[in-house]
A and B are shown apart, each in its own frame.
Chain A
Amino acid sequence: MNRFKLIPIFSILLVFGGSTISDAYAYIDPGSGSVMIQGLIGALVGAGIAIKLYWAKIRMALETKFSKS
Chain B
Amino acid sequence: MQEAAPFPPPPSPPTVAVTDLACRRGDRVLFSRLSLRLQAGEALQVAGRNGVGKSSLLRIVAGLAPAFAGSVGAEGRVGLLDERPALDPALPLGRALAFWRRLDGAAGDDLARLGLTPLLDVPVRYLSTGQKKRAALARLLGQDAAIWLLDEPLNGLDGHAVELAEAITAEHCAAGGIAMIASHQPFRLPAMRVLDLSAHALSEHAA
A and B held together in a complex: no
